[in-house]
């Protein structure tokens, strides 16, 4: 026990004396929370919409006016030629072009129907898809009102049957995507801190040669490894708290669930991350190797974890991989606890999976770490 205290004392001194550490511990949570959360928005707005109105009729102006002031679009109305308009698409000055041909209104009232074209720069398929569907829906809505005025009836029920839908968004009525990102980013933060710091620490002693000196002492393997884990557990939990605090202050993320449940999950998760870091450093001889291996695993597991896209929509093999993806389990639990108030009972399966993975990885790391060769 005294041995452990001596080792911990040494590790903490070294950590706080390391000039890189303090920025990592204090600045990283703040930077991640502000930049990442703000940047990671999927909201679609400010699409550059160019309306080429060659009809210049009451109807075409009516349609155009619906797009002005829309939160989704930066609208520009012009009478330029189709060729010039496509030039704008090519040079990225426009994302969407709504082309209203001459005689549109004339055709509509004479033939009962008229045609318009939307052309989208579809390199970003998501923006193109959503943008065009908003434009068509707006035009359909305008069309319906036009018919009502034309027929002088209060609604279209007599002409078409309708299902009305209403929406209720639980836990997040204003669809604020930030509150979903915060627990995700916190997970990444804790992972990066835990994995890289614990991974680097032991291998650095190898690189600098001090590990030899430790290995000839009668130090207990368990005490030494515990001394390498506990400091980073403390730092990671501290950063989790700091990050959460920032999330609360900056984005007012809901903290619906029990905070103790969150910390319990975090400790189980850190057991996994720190053991993985330790395991990596026992099988590596340079920090560079640790870095790449850790980086590789982190990128793969992070992308698959459902940080940006729902895991349910991934192919089956990816969902199978996610069963052993600790980031996915922890992120899911964090979101459930913080945003929906899930209880320990609700996240029990995640807890056991994390604990199990942690124990397996830890035992492997202890087994792999040998004082002699």
Query: Out of 29, 52, 85, 196, which residue is the one contacting other proteins (CB under 8 A)?
Result: 196
The sign of the torsion formed by the CA atoms of 217, 218, 220, 226 equals negative
Confirm or reject binding of residue 191 to other proteins (CB under 8 A). no
**Window 232-261: residues binding other proteins (CB under 8 A):** none
Q: Rounded to an integer, what distance in angstroms lies between the CA atom of residue 326 and that of residue 331?
A: 8
CA-based nearest residue to 77, from 88, 69, 68, 87: 68
Shortest spacing between CB 336 and other proteins, in angstroms: 5
Cα-based distances in Å from 218 to 215, 221, 224: 8, 9, 11
Confirm or reject binding of residue 176 to other proteins (CB under 8 A). yes
**Window 258-297: residues binding other proteins (CB under 8 A):** 284, 286-289, 291-293, 295-296
Query: Out of 79, 81, 103, 136, which residue is the one contacting other proteins (CB under 8 A)?
Result: 136
Confirm or reject binding of residue 219 to other proteins (CB under 8 A). yes
Shortest spacing between CB 75 and other proteins, in angstroms: 14
**Window 324-343: residues binding other proteins (CB under 8 A):** 332, 335-336, 339-343
Considering the complex, state which of residue 114 and residue 359 has its C-beta at the smaller distance from other proteins.
114
Considering the complex, state which of residue 93 and residue 359 has its C-beta at the smaller distance from other proteins.
93
* Interface stretch with other proteins, choices 75-83, 161-169, 237-245, 262-270 (CB under 8 A): 161-169
Would you state the structure tokens that stand for residue 298, as one six-digit string?
Answer: 């982190």
Shortest spacing between CB 89 and other proteins, in angstroms: 6
x/- letters, 302..321, toward other proteins (CB under 8 A): -xx---xxx-xxxx--x---
Considering the complex, state which of residue 79 and residue 220 has its C-beta at the smaller distance from other proteins.
220
37 and 251 in contact (C-beta within 8 Å)? yes
Q: For residue 76, list its beta bridge partners.
A: 50
* Interface stretch with other proteins, choices 110-118, 260-268, 271-279, 358-366 (CB under 8 A): 110-118
Write the DSSP string, 205-217: HHHHTHHHHHHTS
Would you state the structure tokens that stand for residue 201, as one six-digit string?
Answer: 């620490």
- Largest separation between any pair of C-alpha atoms in the chain: 98
Query: Out of 210, 320, 352, 359, which residue is the one contacting other proteins (CB under 8 A)?
Result: 210
Cα-based distances in Å from 54 to 11, 51, 79, 118: 74, 9, 6, 14
Confirm or reject binding of residue 218 to other proteins (CB under 8 A). yes
Q: Rounded to an integer, what distance in angstroms lies between the CA atom of residue 140 and that of residue 138?
A: 5
Compute how many other C-beta atoms are within 10 angstroms of the C-beta atom of residue 166: 4
**Window 16-55: residues binding other proteins (CB under 8 A):** 17-20, 23-24, 28, 31-32, 35-36, 38-47
Q: Rounded to an integer, what distance in angstroms lies between the CA atom of residue 201 and that of residue 276?
A: 13
Confirm or reject binding of residue 101 to other proteins (CB under 8 A). no
What is the 3-class SS of 303-332, one letter each residue? HHCCCCCCHHHCCHHHHHHHCCCHHHHHHH
Confirm or reject binding of residue 200 to other proteins (CB under 8 A). yes
* Interface stretch with other proteins, choices 75-83, 128-136, 229-237, 360-368 (CB under 8 A): 128-136
Q: For residue 77, list its beta bridge partners.
A: 51
Applying CB under 8 A, the site for other proteins has a residue count of 140
Q: Rounded to an integer, what distance in angstroms lies between the CA atom of residue 12 and that of residue 8?
A: 6
């Amino acid at each position: 026990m005294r041995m452990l205290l001596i080792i911990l004392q040494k590790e903490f001194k070294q950590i706080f004396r390391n000039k890189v550490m303090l920025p990592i511990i204090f600045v990283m949570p703040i930077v991640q929370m502000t930049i990442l959360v703000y940047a990671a928005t999927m909201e679609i707005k400010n699409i550059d919409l160019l309306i080429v109105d060659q009809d210049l009729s009451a109807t075409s102006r009516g349609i155009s006016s619906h797009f002005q002031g829309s939160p989704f679009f930066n609208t520009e109305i012009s009478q330029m030629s189709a060729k010039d308009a496509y030039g704008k698409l090519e040079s990225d000055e426009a994302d969407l072009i709504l082309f209203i041909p001459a005689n549109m209104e004339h055709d509509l009232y004479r033939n009962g129907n008229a045609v318009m074209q939307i052309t989208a720069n579809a390199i970003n398929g998501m923006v193109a898809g959503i943008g065009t569907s908003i434009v068509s829906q707006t035009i359909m809505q305008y069309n319906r009102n036009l018919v009502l005025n034309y027929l002088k009836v209060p609604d279209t029920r007599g002409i078409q049957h309708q299902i009305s839908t209403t929406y209720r968004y639980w836990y997040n009525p204003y669809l604020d995507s930030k509150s979903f990102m915060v627990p995700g980013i916190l997970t990444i933060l804790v992972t990066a801190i835990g994995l890289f710091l614990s991974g680097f620490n032991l291998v650095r002693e190898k690189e600098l040669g001090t590990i030899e000196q430790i290995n000839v002492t009668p130090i207990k393997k368990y005490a030494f490894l515990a001394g390498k884990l506990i400091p980073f557990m403390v730092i990671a939990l501290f950063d989790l708290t700091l990050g959460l605090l920032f999330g609360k202050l900056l984005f007012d993320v809901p903290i619906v669930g029990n905070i103790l449940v969150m910390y319990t999950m975090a400790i189980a998760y850190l057991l996994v991350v720190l053991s993985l870091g330790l395991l990596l450093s026992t099988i590596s001889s340079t920090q560079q190797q640790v870095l790449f291996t850790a980086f590789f695993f982190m990128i793969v597991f992070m992308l698959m974890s459902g940080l940006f896209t729902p895991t349910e929509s991934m192919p089956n093999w990816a969902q199978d991989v996610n069963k052993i993806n600790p980031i996915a389990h922890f992120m899911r639990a964090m979101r459930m606890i913080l945003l929906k108030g899930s209880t320990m009972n609700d996240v029990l399966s995640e807890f056991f999976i994390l604990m199990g993975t942690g124990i397996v990885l830890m035992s492997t790391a202890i087994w792999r770490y040998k004082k002699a060769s």
